[in-house]
Structure 1
């Protein structure tokens, strides 16, 4: 197979130099050009169009968001955002993901060279995932099937303890997929615990953005947070999240630890804890993403009596994690993205 042709667009000479050198060692990746800003990049890209663009968001002459919009409008191309680990960087990057970027790699303001060397595998993984991405799924808003009606009002739902819990795991393409699902859920939906592969500091901004768009409450999880109807807890970047039973209630535990299935937070960690804590009272959902994180955990959930779903290939940006789950026999059903909200609402009463 031909190597993945990559264009690096970053105003930092250090980033351009170090990333070029690191990627040159990867047999399935070819750096076909570097540029200090999008205008220089466009000139070079006319000579040979890349398979993937690694793009900074803060640059002179034309910022990364403007360039991304231009690419998606004129010639859609997979883009990996290279963003600084700052609050402002997180907000801008989330906007980039909403407008069609595939994934994020991060960089600090200090110690840049060593950080990039240490993060080589993360970058390679992001580029490989971007090259396989179905860009049409990043911008498409699927029709959502009608949601089943529930007897509880939104106000009552927040006052009740739930004995049902929904655990969701996703990665590449997941920010857009989660927005599709969560924005249509009513406040009567069961409590949700979510792992979205995302860097530290970005999950808080992501949760805040979703909270503004949704009827239900969305927050970045903190240790001891209660799982309850009408609330979704998103695992913080860089830490694992586990589900724990506390009497008649569920709570989450946030803990440090090494990466599991190459990730922290890990979907496998969440799903395995859900299998132990909730068993048949849980619904597990694995969605778009590269790799296999979550597949084994979803199998443990199914073996413990939980209902389990996988997003179908046609609606995934990358059909990696769901494919591995299906291969293991972990998914009881395979559903298009637009049918997943209905399955979540039905789980409130044990239907579906």
Structure 2
């Protein structure tokens, strides 16, 4: 993009957004916004936390369930930790759910149930970093904050043909995004940039022919849009090993444990198991005739791959979750995989 084209590019982007904005359950559309309707900071915050490293398609159902069950921040603040963690199951990155509760309780207790109206005030809340604070402030309060997520980084890197690889280019891309951010309609602008990156300026095969910013795009002019943004090579993820134990009693109850609050899957229910590392110890939670499932569970976390050998047994003892209260769908994804793998090693459950 040439210097001085920022205002014209911004106008073209907003004109496109006015007719092509995605309809999302947490969003106030451009027509409604123009008529004076404002986005609910609670719903914007909820959606932004859920959308971190998670797709819109995966978030929609969870967002609906959360906002139906806890329609106000005060409702969420009063919720039991276990109930929130169970509803979060399937979204991954469970520290977000813990921070969601912490933030809701601070807003309810210290701010009278009202989110701060500025990005600076929002950054003081638990679990809200610079991006989320800027997004809430821009979308809910029309603060001209610079909102930069992965979609925006991609759009900006192509507009200016930035060839510095990510993550090293982040500061440069944020500065360039700031040059595009208008004083008027900054919330619509932020959402327009996100929508453009999600629907037209996509990671692969961008639809440059129909892009409203094509006249301003240096990468399109040079024919290199598909190769941007450049990314530094990623280090290969290590592989960790572990054991998981699925025990069921004669009444169909299942032995579960709640993981420590800190660490992976913190506060979530799951099956007992070993530590995850290069040489885990085989330490079943109780004495039983443990049989190994034929299939190993494989799961990938942000920083490592996990391989779990699954053992199952019929057993009796205290602490089993009754069959009527056991909901596999409320378990984290890796634990649902463990449950599925264990079925072939378990005797048929009683009817």
Q: Which has the larger radius of gyration?
A: 2
Report which structure shows greater RCO (CA 8 Å, sep ≥6).
Answer: 2
Give your verdict on TM over 0.5: no
Which one has a larger percent helix, Structure 1 or Structure 2?
2
Which one has a larger percent strand, Structure 1 or Structure 2?
1
TM-score, normalised relative to structure 2? 0.22
